[in-house]
Chain A
Amino acid sequence: MSRYGRLTPSLALLPFLGYLVVFLLIPTITVVVGAFQEDGAFSFVNIEALFSDTALRALWKSVLLSGSTAVVGAVLGALLSYLVVTSPPTSVLRRAVTSVCSVLAQFGGVTLAFAFIAALGFSGVITEALRSSVGLDIYGSWLFGVPGLILVYTYFQIPLMVIVFLPALEGLRPQWREAAVSIGATTWQYWTQIAIPMLRPAFLGAMLLLFANAFAAYATAAALVSQGNPILPLLIRSALTSEIVLGRHNLAFALAFEMIIVVAVVMTAYALVVRRTSRWLR
């Protein structure tokens, strides 16, 4: 077959590739190029602005929020996965938990912010119940700042952990435990010397995924936070909508570029860890 004849089938992929170039790659490249420009000329001022107090504080709060909810979400999610995996695969509990988790992990956003305002807001259900029963008023501005975000993000991080970590736990074969017990291992030894070392890469990988998930999340924070722009996604919003923040036109690009870098580093680490995991757990 001629060279032309071999290439013809590939041409049918052009519409797909063209579409992704226009609606995914060009926006991404715009961000990267825009981060190094100001008023149409090459410049480092926007990158320098990333190291201003405001931008660094937002980055730090974002890392704090993503890190803490990744750790809490991973630990609690792993615990919930274990509780679920010890029941038979066909049980109602297992089906219910996996279905509910798949909904909650993907469908957060504005809804979650309102759910927590309905529960813990000024006239929220829990707030009023505690106020009338024990006279304790838990309402405060904490709900609309980083502490509130940590609580609300945990609500979607735990389900995501269950979805990601459950297959790894299912891969832990009962035969390994039987083998360990038959040569005299105690339950403690089985967990510390076999199960935990085997699950560690899967656990760490899932934690990285949770971190990236929280770091890039926007909707919940946008709907919940009432004052200021404590975290990176909200700083991007204000840079995008008010045009000039910190006196820079292209700051939104630089902040978005910063987000790409962080998420890309975390996701690459995730891919490397997962490659190691898949060697063991099939």
Chain B
Amino acid sequence: MRTSPTWRITRVVLLVLFGVFFVIPMLAMLDFSTRDVGGGRTWQAWANLVEDPTLSAAIIRSLLLAVLTVAGMLVLLVPTMVWVRLRVPQARRLIEFLCLLPLTIPALVIVVGMRNVYAWVNYLVSDSALTLTFVYVVLVLPYAYRAIDSSLSSIDAVTLAEAARSLGAGWFTVIVRIVVPNIRSGVLAAAFISVALVLGEYTIASLSHYDTLQVVIALLGKSAATTSVAASLATLLFASALLILLSFVNRARRDVEGS
């Protein structure tokens, strides 16, 4: 369209400016986290990720939380969504509305109101940071719902289910062995994005006084700044790797569907 030299130069200059704005804070983190007191470089802050007992415990706790949240999300959401497709299509709008609701109700509001519910959770289950799983499942619902829904829309679940049923399969077999393998990419996407969200979550964990990764990072910021910056950058890189991997999964799916 517009290919005048001025436009081409302006375009490159603007892209470089955007690039600089987004890259500088990341590079600053890398530089800051490898600084040595007397000048020069050290990787001690990065070594602290595994050596510092508080930090490594928090990393393990958050990873466990991520795994439990994914498991909870899958158990709660996948059978429900498949069932709605197959047997109660009239409930689809309701389920969609409920799943997207956490986008409108901020996490901060949920944490303010959840004290009563969590008094019961702590009484009935336990008073461990892992109980955050219950509320994290709600938090990841909108993103998980979208990922699974787009995958489910691309297959003819009703016909698949009818074929399986006519061959004598029960509903459990239909869902677990027929439908789920066909929406694998959507389920995988939902799992990835849930892990990324749980690893980055701070609001609910800090206000309910549980020491998850982000809470410990924020605390370390006051005493061991370089370590906390290293941990921040490491989590960001890990989440980026997950989400970029996810974009490859999506692309592979689109290619398969396109052919």
CB pairs A–B below 8 angstroms (17 shown) = A12-B83, A12-B88, A15-B80, A20-B98, A23-B114, A31-B112, A76-B18, A86-B2, A100-B22, A110-B232, A111-B217, A111-B232, A117-B225, A118-B33, A119-B25, A126-B28, A212-B104
Residues of B within 8 A of A158 (CB): 18
Chain A residues packing against B (C-beta within 8 Å): 9-10, 12-13, 15-17, 19-20, 22-24, 26-31, 34, 76, 79-80, 83, 86, 93, 95, 98-100, 102-104, 106-112, 114-119, 123-126, 155, 158, 174, 177, 187, 212, 216, 218-219, 222-223, 233, 236-237, 240-241, 252-253, 256, 259-260, 263-264, 267
A22 touching B24 in the complex, CB below 8 Å, given contacts A80-B18, A102-B247: no
Minimum CB–CB distance from A86 to chain B (whole Å) comes to: 7
Please determine whether B87 and A9 come into contact, CB atoms closer than 8 angstroms.
yes
Please determine whether A24 and B27 come into contact, CB atoms closer than 8 angstroms.
no
Interface size class of B (residues with CB under 8 A): 35 or more
B interface SS class: helix
Residues of A within 8 A of B87 (CB): 9, 12
In the assembly, what is the distance between CA of A81 and CA of B166, in Å? 50
Minimum CB–CB distance from B188 to chain A (whole Å) comes to: 16
Within 8 A of A (CB), among B44-86: 76-77, 79-80, 83-84
Please determine whether B202 and A219 come into contact, CB atoms closer than 8 angstroms.
yes
Contact mask for chain B residues 1-25; partner A; CB cutoff 8 A; 1 contact, 0 none: 1100000000100110010011011
Please determine whether B200 and A125 come into contact, CB atoms closer than 8 angstroms.
no
In the assembly, what is the distance between CA of A210 and CA of B128, in Å? 35
Minimum CB–CB distance from B193 to chain A (whole Å) comes to: 8
Cross-interface CB contact of A103 among B29, B203, B239, cutoff 8 Å: B239
Please determine whether A27 and B98 come into contact, CB atoms closer than 8 angstroms.
no
Please determine whether A24 and B240 come into contact, CB atoms closer than 8 angstroms.
no
Chain A residue at minimum C-beta to C-beta distance from B75: A15
In the assembly, what is the distance between CA of A267 and CA of B162, in Å? 40
Please determine whether B236 and A260 come into contact, CB atoms closer than 8 angstroms.
no
Q: 4 extra interchain contacts, Cβ-Cβ under 8 A, other than A17-B98, A102-B243?
A: A28-B110, A83-B11, A115-B25, A119-B28
